[in-house]
Amino acid sequence: MKSIFKKYRIFIGVFLVFSIITLYLFYVALKPTKTLPIYNPADVNPELVDSTVQYISKYHTIADFSFVNQNGKTITQKDYEGKIYVADFFFTTCGSICPKMTANLFEVQKAIINNPKVMLLSHTVFPEVDSVAVLKAYAIKYGVDDKKWNLVTGDKKEIYTMARKSYLAVKLGKPSELYDMVHTENFVLVDAKKRVRGFYDGTKKEDIEKLITDINFLSNE
């Protein structure tokens, strides 16, 4: 038996190495590759999308914008150019889901604080109440880092347009009131090419963990 093993040891060694390499290649080929979808208006709940864009099924990107942040600085698309970012909609006097959403977005801020590719952007849906001074007080209360996270206010019509035509994330309010909005719990993940890549429930820890994972995935793409 020993003599047979010695005689064929080279062949057996080569066969084992070949088998290991073959199994590894099969594993790599069959292992599912992580991907994130690219969302267009036609892919999303119509309640969250303006009727004028609901038919769009490809090439959707976030439109240019111009708002004012908690420091009175004008924030535009150029401030987010080439960045991955998380967008959401809130208002400072909201006593239901907003505090939890903001606290969870603070956890996202902690996770991306040293990642120069990632930022955060929160839009008020009540700009008539949420002035620059009010947003600044809210930012201080919740530990907002001005370099990473902008809380913005501006013209209500423009915020409405961004919410429903770009981010696909806000419901209509009272039909009788023009540009009335009911913000949702959605956090919207936008990639460096201004495409919507994911929606996450901002009140749920498991969704926040998934959001952070997906941010890291996009950062390393």
Residue 98 assigned ligand-binding role: yes
The answer on pLDDT for 192 being more than 90 is: yes
178-182 CB contacts, 8 Å cutoff, 24+ apart: 181/89, 181/125, 182/125
Query: pTM of the prediction?
Result: 0.84
At 99, which amino acid appears? P
Which domain covers residue 177, as residue numbers? 41-219
Return mean pLDDT, the chain: 89
Give the Cα separation of 184 and 48 in Å (integer).
Answer: 9
Q: What is the DSSP string of 131-162?
A: -HHHHHHHHHHTT--TTTEEEEE--HHHHHHI
Q: How do residues 47-70 score in pLDDT, each as one tens digit?
A: 999 999 999 999 999 999 999 999
What's the domain count of the chain? Answer: 2
Max avg pLDDT among 11-20, 22-31, 193-202: 193-202
Residue 201 assigned ligand-binding role: no
Contacts of 167 (CB under 8 A, 6+ apart): 62, 87, 89, 186, 188, 190, 196
**Same domain as 169, residue 69:** yes
Distance, C-alpha 187 to centroid of its chain: 6
Evaluate whether residue 36 is within a structural domain: no
Residue 206 assigned ligand-binding role: no
**Same domain as 64, residue 16:** no
- Given this model, what pLDDT does residue 32 score? 47
Residues 34-57: what's their mean pLDDT?
A: 94
**Same domain as 189, residue 136:** yes
**Same domain as 116, residue 18:** no
**Same domain as 196, residue 138:** yes
The answer on pLDDT for 103 being more than 70 is: yes
**Same domain as 206, residue 101:** yes
The answer on pLDDT for 104 being more than 80 is: yes
